[in-house]
Amino acid sequence: MKTSITNFSFTRADKEILKQGTWYDAYRKLGAHPGTFRKQSGVFFSVWAPHAKTVSLLTESGGWEKSPVPMRRRQGGVWECFLPGCSVGEKYSFYILGADGVVRKKADPYAFRGELRPGRASVVADLNSYAWQDEQYLSVRRMQDLHASPMAIYEVHLGSWKRDPDPDFAGFLNYRDLAGELAEYVTSLGYTHVELIGICEHPFDGSWGYQCSGFFAPTSRYGSPDDFRFFVDTMHHSGIGVILDWVPGHFPRDEFCLSTFDGTPLYEPDDPLRAELPCWGTYAFDHSKGEVRSFLISSALFWIREFHIDAIRTDAVAAILHNSFGRERWSPNKYGGEENLDGMTFLRQLTNAVHTLTGGAIIAEDSSILPGITDPLPKGGYGFDFKWNLGWMNDTLVFFDKDPIFRRYHHDCLTHTADYAFQERWILVLSHDEVVHCKRTMLEKMPGPPDWRFAELMQLYALQIAFPGKKLLFMGQEFAEKREWDENREIDWVLASEPEHEAVTRCLKALLALYKQYSALYVDDGDADSFEWVNRHDADRNIIAFIRRRSGSYNGALLVLFNFSPVLYADYSCGVPLPGAYRQVFSTCASSGENRTFTAKRASCDGFPYSVKPGLHGFEALFLEFPIKKQRKKP
């Protein structure tokens, strides 16, 4: 049933909340909406262009510029028209005579679908045609405490995870084709979530979706909006959460996009020192404008409401927080500092809206050292649920990059990460950024001969699982891909069945199973009491040891030991706080045996009253379960 046009007409109340920056469902009126007017079916179009002299609607069926449809200016600088006979699937653009006298052909900022590149038009879509089947999943999600749950994320770029196998068409697979296979694969590995790169529509494949032209449109590279809904539905049916990469800090300079939208800097700041981001060749959003905040926050909520996305990963938060980001010359704020005060206000407004109006979560990708990103808003924080731990990624990979004989000089890169492990709610990431542009894959970062490199890679994954924080790994690294990621080809699946590569996958599966089995690894991983050093200073032997536990208790705790050298330390002893039998539950070293137990003796070691003597093989990561306390029977 078509909706009446009166439901889309722009009102005075809409004008006020749009300007205030609090119209959090602006997409329900702005954009293109199928409906009826005077018993005629058609589509209602509206666009915000307050400084435009005239705005016309262009459609493919109308011959584009041959038959422009004039739009009527309404209050608040919104232009509207109703086009009878227009229907879902129609391609359209706005023809805007700007305040500067220049005519520009613009895509709809609120379009629900975009034309497949190199096309630039928007496409009329209906958001009410899909019947969701994931209510059971959503009801469970609403009851879940994400901070106290295991969270292991498989980061994936759909267009290069799998490609069309037809040699005559080396193109993209549809969301529906990808859904079942990816859900089954991710479930078999043991991941709890997928994080999707490049879903918001974008003009250039090489931007990976981080220069976005469609903030309300899933990319047409892989199908329709309903195809993407099917994808998310399938993931939820398999118990897999979906995280969407989203970019509210900047947008591309392409003329059909948001830049100089109505002949003025509308979505970008007036100040050229703030408008441009030279480091990316993009324009920054002007977060001081209420209309821009309404646009962006509506976009974030749109994906959660209309596509059932579980979490929004907010890209380039540092670019929003700092006027100096990526700029040699920058404009200070009113106090003379380089902080972007409007950006700070926007981020707090964003996280508050996500938490109070949806059941979703929000994650920060932030390279700055500004504190409080994951602190609650009442405590002066920014309210994000998690922050990517880029420091851990950088420091850890610096350590692993060194030949074992030199690692003693970089030991602090490894141990220093624990010093800030509880300053925020972290996600430990080994992301796409680290396996492109001559950075080498995770396997190729490891030094030494091939057998060393595979063993060291398994240690890296074991360290990620053992260390406090949620987990993320980019696709292809689970089977130790050798070639750097290229968005134009699929990952090298042929390697996955080769013995050494398959061993890495088995190791990762076992680690993820261990992660979900032992609550000590995830329940209190934001609490400093969940982590305890046993040995952090043994740089000469490249050894560290620590305890992961539930806060305030050793019940179900794990003792984790790493030997980052190829040397066998058969007599290695380690201090422990309790007597009893410590049982091996995992080792990256196949020759270490299984289910071994080590009895703690009363012998002071590492500052503890007891010690165990497990020994350590070269390049071994060893997990030992603490003694299980027997419960006394009640009399």
Q: 617: domain CATH number?
A: 2.60.40.1180
User: First and final CA of the chain: distance in angstroms?
Assistant: 70
Q: Is 130 inside a domain boundary?
A: no
pLDDT of amino acid 168: 58
SS3 of residue 454 by DSSP: helix
Token reading at 611: 């010690």
pLDDT of amino acid 123: 98
Q: Is 632 inside a domain boundary?
A: no
List the CATH number of the domain containing 347: 3.20.20.80
pLDDT of amino acid 631: 47
**Whether residues 456 and 586 fall in one domain:** no
Q: Which residue has the higher pLDDT, 156 or 6?
A: 156
Q: Is 49 inside a domain boundary?
A: yes
Closest C-alpha among 36, 54, 53, 52 to residue 44? 36
Instruction: Specify whether 490 is catalytic.
Output: no
d(CA 293, CA 296): 5
**Whether residues 443 and 541 fall in one domain:** no
Q: Over 50: is that where the pLDDT of 280 sits?
A: yes
What total number of domains does the chain contain? 3
pLDDT of amino acid 635: 45
Q: Over 90: is that where the pLDDT of 164 sits?
A: no
- From 126, 310, 365, 424, the catalytic residue: 365
Q: Which residues pair with 601 in a beta bridge?
A: 611
d(CA 274, CA 253): 14
**pLDDT tens-digit map of 217-255:** 999 999 999 999 999 999 999 999 999 999 999 999 999
pLDDT of amino acid 595: 81
**Whether residues 363 and 499 fall in one domain:** yes
Q: Where are the beta strands (DSSP E) in 309-412?
A: 311-314, 361-364, 386-388
Q: Is 116 inside a domain boundary?
A: yes
Q: Is 315 inside a domain boundary?
A: yes
Q: Is 14 inside a domain boundary?
A: yes
Q: pLDDT tier at 6 (50, 70, 90 boundaries)?
A: low
Q: Over 90: is that where the pLDDT of 11 sits?
A: no
d(CA 576, CA 611): 5
Q: For residue 449, how many other CB atoms are within 10 A of its CB?
A: 8
> Which residue in the block uniquely carries the two structure tokens 């052909």?
105
**Whether residues 413 and 545 fall in one domain:** no
Instruction: Specify whether 365 is catalytic.
Output: yes
Residues 349 and 132 sit within 8 Å (Cβ to Cβ): no
**Whether residues 495 and 593 fall in one domain:** no
Q: Over 70: is that where the pLDDT of 551 sits?
A: yes
Q: Is 141 inside a domain boundary?
A: no
Q: Is 631 inside a domain boundary?
A: no
Token reading at 273: 């020192």
d(CA 473, CA 152): 8
Q: Over 80: is that where the pLDDT of 594 sits?
A: no
**Whether residues 450 and 589 fall in one domain:** no
> End of a domain among 123, 138, 164?
123
**Whether residues 100 and 205 fall in one domain:** no
Mean pLDDT of 360-388: 96
Average pLDDT over the chain, rounded to whole?
95
What angle is formed at CA 417 by the lines to CA 412 and CA 421, rounded to 5 degrees?
A: 155
Mean pLDDT of 470-483: 98
Q: Tell me the residue range of the domain where 488 lies.
A: 152-521
Convert 87-105 to b/e letters by CB count within 10 Å (16 or more is b).
Answer: eeebbbbbbbbbbeeeebe
pLDDT of amino acid 170: 56
**Whether residues 88 and 188 fall in one domain:** no
**Whether residues 427 and 545 fall in one domain:** no
d(CA 134, CA 145): 19
d(CA 7, CA 35): 9
Q: Over 70: is that where the pLDDT of 3 sits?
A: no
**Whether residues 329 and 467 fall in one domain:** yes
Mean pLDDT of 336-363: 97
> End of a domain among 78, 104, 123?
123
Cα four-point dihedral sign 575, 577, 580, 585: negative
**Whether pTM exceeds 0.75:** yes
Cα four-point dihedral sign 615, 617, 618, 623: negative
pLDDT of amino acid 1: 45
Mean pLDDT of 158-185: 88
Token reading at 443: 């396997």
Mean pLDDT of 524-551: 96
Token reading at 497: 């069945």
**Whether residues 576 and 551 fall in one domain:** yes
Q: Over 80: is that where the pLDDT of 167 sits?
A: no
Helix (H) / strand (E) element for 59: namely strand 54-59
pLDDT of amino acid 437: 87
List the CATH number of the domain containing 93: 2.60.40.10
**Whether residues 401 and 542 fall in one domain:** no
**pLDDT tens-digit map of 439-448:** 999 999 999 9
pLDDT of amino acid 165: 78
> End of a domain among 123, 142, 164?
123
pLDDT of amino acid 547: 98
What is the DSSP secondary structure assignment for residue 308, as one 8-state letter? -
Q: Over 70: is that where the pLDDT of 202 sits?
A: yes
> Which residue in the block uniquely carries the two structure tokens 């398999």?
238
Q: Over 80: is that where the pLDDT of 268 sits?
A: yes
d(CA 251, CA 259): 8
